[in-house]
Structure 1
């Protein structure tokens, strides 16, 4: 995302460095050292008056859309306090929408809704870990067809600001960096460490040619490109931003370059030749003054990320940001003469295992839904924020806005009865070939996936123990392990629980640890420490365990296809427990529609529909339903497979309304 993510809880007013808050005087050294609040208020008031003069008249941007603007020579320029497009004043009114979080069939609908809201620019990140999931094998097809997405934005009448990373944050696993980078024990992410820059160069050699012909000066809609993302909040290598800038320009990126940082990161996140922009949720004019100071010259001001809501973590509450407060702040930013980008306009979904995590004081993984309390809901429906923003932009712009597209109906298909089940222990011998190792091996360094290691999902570690005692993890579990003796569940280990009593028994028994990668941290100082599975020794009675069988359970489509044909599935017993797979059928009689799956009575796991991984569920909340796009359904029979870790229900409920949990208002 954007944002200064010290994210262990909801941001509250008055805490320095947390999005949604004002900037304390101690955060701007040298600027407020003499004069205190009075000087700050005077400078802020003067700034407001000067910038408000820029926007006294309404904006006429009606013919400044991709399909109408001809004779392109100069591109987006920064002159004094405003942007120019072909030497005409231009204001960026943008919204963030990530193609990789939305089914391709819905891209145009979401873009048209953005246009109908009054925006003229879409911004999107580019996830390296999807486009190069296997080192050297690149995918720009299907839901990852970036060219089609950009061209579709142009057809709708939107300009594009591209944010290609390589790091994107975005509450996305490892900030979009591929996990195979972590096979190198010396890896230093987001630096000029040779192993990292070689990988970035290879990726950019394939990515950048995809977008070069879509730049403004070549007749396309891309008017600006962002250099990395919020580097000032990381800032491990003073040469790195220059390297990334050159990596872009040397591959024929010719449009305006920008950087993006929160106010704390502005000092060290910028680079010569790129316009510095700011990220925040609560407007403090001192932030804009500080941005002016950092730019050193008269330059247009842009809020690259104005946070329209907030993301949620498992075990927390669903964050909601007041619509009136949001729209008032947008109006103030525009009145200041600044450009703005709404993060997020539409959040979408962290399908599969691709959610990120935060780890400041404690580890917290991000939920499956990326609803974000954004302008559109997770399923693309309008909110009050949409209509309030549309009215604001109607008042600002001289030309009428297009009519909002009709929203799609949602379906309630009722109860889905789970009819079949098979235990994980039954399918393992047939479907997964174990890796044998004397020592534990972390997920990324397992010899699987053509030498690229395991990226996501679960890893099962098996060894033999002679008796009972105290099992100690030494904080080597990443991130959560269910522990079994033979097939009997005895407890779990994670960051906070590092010891577990193993009951005594006769003879040698199997000790099994089913370890889940709950999501790699996507922001902060822990990026280099995101190896998953067992990352070191565990001991029983202070003796390190050895001789492991290790099963990679990434649950890719090929695995699910094999599981589908596995026999025998059996009828669900009265007291079925996990880890196990449960199967049922969703019947659709007419044209499929979006729906939401509610898993009341289930504990923790993952849901697959027709082979598509909808993502994780967990009874601790806040999220209670999983979004199921209608485009992933078909008329007739639809196969539902649930991988439940522990305690299974007997039905899933299809409903036409999402339940994202108990609300906490972001202030």
Structure 2
């Protein structure tokens, strides 16, 4: 077979689908692009890949999930890299703990898996701001995903730091990273080929000397591909159409690669749980593999979007729609890393396409689960009684101007009369209080930004509690992502001025004073704390049906968000985050009060919606 790219020499190797084959340490390999397939060691390679992200899976479980990937028949892991996880503060880089992307890749190599690396600074991925760090928005004139020199400088600085972690792990340097994606679905955003080529140069200058590629949906490929480099396609399942499309934009040749094939889908708050039938997905997989096409299933294992890292969708037709914390994705491997019906059906299909004599490893046993009943929540902190020192301004400031990334801001002003209160460009969710009493809920999802205030005293305190529900991660409004009260507050068409703003990012719970036997019925945002003792640990799920809207800290870990509207009604607790002995849990709830108990159950509930907004 003719090789159209120079073969990329490397030390290192892989166990290709067979547990009986030797470890690929110290084995020389070559990798390149052929006319119709990828080429490994001069032979066709069909990549059967699955996506998983190191930041969504506790580090102590990376190897377990990769063993599950091998047992299903995967030979490759696809993965994004989230810029905002590695540079949360401008100029300060973190590649430790759950952000240790190099360790993630090395574990894959130890488990006999190749890696397709997708470190484009824009990832989408239902992740806050599509992976861009929030601080890029502090300068309201800076334009992300463009040739703005300020953006390109920040982008280049980050890629140069990332290169120190990943360049040595490329197949060209003896590692297991086969390819690098330089942009992600750019055709759905714009069509500037000069910008795409700048991306290429940034990666090349940083030392990424392996195969580069782009990926786009079928309709967006004309705008999003970079001539001369492999164009992968997302979401296209018809083998004939897929080959025709890639031929058209790659000099009449392959290889043929689906960078994102969707055996499941993500969930939005307030909408129905996504479901792709296992039998249907397995039939599609069989057709694609039978056609010799390489594939990356998005997702193989989604895990959980912890903390405040969920993103949101919005376009010109559909309103703002934030995503849930569970990234179960109806994937072959569920949120807790267990094999599903889809997993076993895919395993059967992949086994049909293995080279003669190759067999799959046994599937590891299902993880044990447990239920914990009646955890007493016996300490309380009213957030309104634990406010930090305010920032004062004539006009309300957005999160970014307050130098705050995520979480909440309480805006406070004095008003003298009632009327229609309007928050111009509220982002994203607000509770309105007058003299400490809640009078309205405003939700960007529902296009709510106004409320009529009545019976207002001559010197009333107006409090507006504003939550960042997740910055947009996909679509035309990506660059318009400042949060909080982003324009003005109007009362009877007159601007409300002279504000105090209290920053509550909830990076930790330090600074809050908890009281026992406190009055918890004020219906202010509050924190409910309890402890419980365990003699053994196992995976479990916090049952949040009785709560309103908020998040949970367990032993210092932010487990993610809950919201009574569903469809997610539980929060996954990995066994590794529990302790034998004393454990501490703190529930933040901004909608409901007087919580006294919390329980866990032994299975997730991800498909129950409530009519309550």
Give TM-score, length-normalised by structure 2: 0.93
CA distance in 1 between partners of 2:239 and 2:427 (Å): 39
Greater RCO structure (CA 8 Å; 6+ sep): 1
Given the superposition, is the C-alpha separation of residues 220 and 67 from structure 1 closer, same or farther in structure 2, using an over 3 Å criterion? farther
Equivalent residue runs for 1:51-66 within 5 Å: 62=18
Query: Partner of 2:319 in structure 1?
Result: 362
1:469 to 414, 419, 426: 419
Equivalent residue runs for 1:118-267 within 5 Å: 118-235=73-190, 237-267=192-222
CA distance in 2 between partners of 1:87 and 1:213 (Å): 23
Structure 1: unaligned runs, 5 residues or longer: 1-58, 447-452
Given the superposition, is the C-alpha separation of residues 244 and 65 from structure 1 closer, same or farther in structure 2, using an over 3 Å criterion? farther
Q: Give deviations 1:419-445, integer Å, cap 9, x for gaps.
A: 1212111111xxx22111111111012
Q: Report how far residue 239 of structure 1 moved.
A: 1.2
2:485 to 511, 534, 543: 534
2:333 to 376, 380, 400: 376
Q: Report how far residue 487 of structure 1 moved.
A: 1.0
Task: Tell whether 2:588 aligns with 1:643.
Answer: yes
2:438 to 472, 489, 492: 489
Q: Give deviations 1:596-628, integer Å, cap 9, x for gaps.
A: 001122111111111211111111111110111
Moved more, 138-147 or 638-647: 638-647
1:106 to 51, 57, 61: 61
Query: Partner of 2:471 in structure 1?
Result: 520
Task: Tell whether 2:267 aligns with 1:316.
Answer: no
Q: Report how far residue 573 of structure 1 moved.
A: 4.0
Query: Partner of 1:78 in structure 2?
Result: 33
CA distance in 2 between partners of 1:63 and 1:198 (Å): 45
CA distance in 2 between partners of 1:232 and 1:457 (Å): 32
Query: Partner of 2:8 in structure 1?
Result: none
1:599 to 529, 533, 544: 544
2:304 to 346, 349, 352: 349
Moved more, 236-245 or 116-125: 236-245
Query: Partner of 1:622 in structure 2?
Result: 567
Equivalent residue runs for 1:314-463 within 5 Å: 314-360=269-315, 361-397=318-354, 398=356, 399-428=358-387, 432-446=388-402, 453-463=403-413
Q: Is the 8 A contact 1:318 1:622 kept in 2?
A: yes
Q: Report how far residue 548 of structure 1 moved.
A: 1.0
Q: Is the 8 A contact 1:473 1:493 kept in 2?
A: no
CA distance in 2 between partners of 1:283 and 1:537 (Å): 50
**Secondary structure in 2 aligned to 1:391?**
helix
CA distance in 1 between partners of 2:17 and 2:71 (Å): 14
CA distance in 1 between partners of 2:361 and 2:473 (Å): 37
Q: Give deviations 1:515-565, integer Å, cap 9, x for gaps.
A: 0000011101001111000101111121111111111111012xx1332xx
Q: Is the 8 A contact 1:413 1:587 kept in 2?
A: no
Query: Partner of 2:10 in structure 1?
Result: none
CA distance in 1 between partners of 2:471 and 2:22 (Å): 38
**Secondary structure in 2 aligned to 1:526?**
coil
Task: Tell whether 2:512 aligns with 1:571.
Answer: no
Give TM-score, length-normalised by structure 1: 0.85
**Secondary structure in 1 aligned to 2:396?**
coil
CA distance in 1 between partners of 2:439 and 2:458 (Å): 18
CA distance in 1 between partners of 2:71 and 2:502 (Å): 50
Q: Give deviations 1:205-246, integer Å, cap 9, x for gaps.
A: 111121011111211111111111111111153311101111
Given the superposition, is the C-alpha separation of residues 236 and 300 from structure 1 closer, same or farther in structure 2, using an over 3 Å criterion? closer
CA distance in 1 between partners of 2:172 and 2:205 (Å): 16
Query: Partner of 1:656 in structure 2?
Result: 602
Structure 2: unaligned runs, 5 residues or longer: 1-14
Q: Report how far residue 503 of structure 1 moved.
A: 2.5
Q: Report how far residue 293 of structure 1 moved.
A: 1.6
2:225 to 263, 270, 274: 270
**Secondary structure in 2 aligned to 1:239?**
helix
Q: Is the 8 A contact 1:191 1:236 kept in 2?
A: no
Q: Report how far residue 281 of structure 1 moved.
A: 6.0
Query: Partner of 1:499 in structure 2?
Result: 450
